[in-house]
Amino acid sequence: MKSNDMVWVEHEEGTPPLTSNTDFGAVDTLTEEQIHAAALADPDAQPIPRGSDEALARAGLVRVVNVKKLRERLGLTQEAFAAAYRIPVGTLRDWEQRRKFPDAPARAYLSVIASSPQVVAELLGSAA
């Protein structure tokens, strides 16, 4: 099935894994430089650009805060993080387990939390 220029493969539980003609022994012998050169030569396997958000945007990508790593960096449980930043705990769990992804306003909010967690928590605490 093809949709939006992406190929999706339906794989039912219990069916045998897909096979390929890839020689993984040969792949294992490649150096990092050879792998990088091969990726650059393949228009469908371009590496994700490093650097600024502008460079990512030019490639059609958006930097997303890793919610679980942010919460762990702050030393908070899911419940404490959700309460401090007024995010429903179910939503937080969905984001952390990648069942759902934050929409644009939520990504912006998470970026603000990542840059100034204490300020955001204090502002929300004083607004209660």
The reply to whether 56 and 71 lie within a common domain is: no
Q: Is 15 exposed, middle or buried (0-12, 13-18, 19+ CB in 10 A)?
A: exposed
Residue 76, domain extent: 67-127
Confidence (pLDDT) at 14: 82
- CA R_g for the chain: 20
101 is a domain residue? yes
3 state DSSP class of 10: coil
Confidence (pLDDT) at 6: 61
Domain count, the chain: 2
| The model's pTM | 0.57
Last residue of a domain, one of 32, 62, 92: 62
Going from the first residue of the chain to its last (128 residues), give the mean pLDDT of each consecutive group of 10, the final group possibly shorter.
Answer: 58 79 90 88 79 80 88 96 96 95 93 95 81
For residues 115 and 108, the answer to whether their CB atoms sit within 8 Å is no
Other CB atoms within a 10 A radius of the CB of residue 59 amount to: 11
Among 50, 91, 51, which Cα is nearest to 71's? 91
The reply to whether 112 and 73 lie within a common domain is: yes
The reply to whether 123 and 72 lie within a common domain is: yes
The reply to whether 115 and 92 lie within a common domain is: yes
The reply to whether 54 and 81 lie within a common domain is: no
Tell the residue number behind the tokens 């603000």, with chain if given.
Answer: 112
12 is a domain residue? no
Question: Rounded to a whole number, what is the largest CA-CA distance in the chain?
Answer: 61
3 state DSSP class of 22: coil
